[in-house]
Amino acid sequence: KIVQKYPALTCYWPTLLITLNKQKVIPETLTIINNLKAAGYTLYVFSNIGKQSFEQLRTFHPHVFEPFSGFIYTQPEDGWLQKPHKAAYKKFLKKFNLQPKEVVFIDDKQINIDTAREIGFHTI
């Protein structure tokens, strides 16, 4: 979306992408993820970042993504559909063949949690 809005940034996009993806892993979060996996939960990533950014993060921190069974992120093919749009949650459910009542949705944005709850997800 950034390059579409600001075409002059196209030549800088690879460098911008690397800079944007230099997040640090929070050890406590990784512990929670691994504990949930060990307890038998199936884990998925449902992210608003795009494929390029997501794949770069997986390259930088492969151990963070190992416990996850699947990933969904925004794509140009569906108009960059993302949370909190209800269609994004329905896309997630369809991709992983899940029912809302089977999902515990964890997010750091209240609007995303509210929409998930409206659809029937359990939320944190």
pLDDT value, residue 50: 85
Does the structure show a pLDDT above 70 at 113? yes
pLDDT value, residue 9: 74
Instruction: Find, among 67, 50, 57, the residue nearest to 25 by Cα.
Output: 57
pLDDT value, residue 54: 87
pLDDT value, residue 60: 83
DSSP 67: T
pLDDT value, residue 15: 63
pLDDT value, residue 44: 98
Instruction: Find, among 104, 101, 107, 102, the residue nearest to 120 by Cα.
Output: 101
The mean pLDDT value of the chain amounts to 89
How far apart CA 100 and CA 73 sit, in angstroms, is 18
Q: What pLDDT, in 10s, does the model give residues 67-96?
A: 999 999 998 888 889 999 999 999 999 999
Does the structure show a pLDDT above 70 at 18? no
Does the structure show a pLDDT above 70 at 118? yes
pLDDT value, residue 22: 63
Most confident of 13-22, 45-54, 85-94: 85-94
Between 118 and 3, residue with greater pLDDT: 118
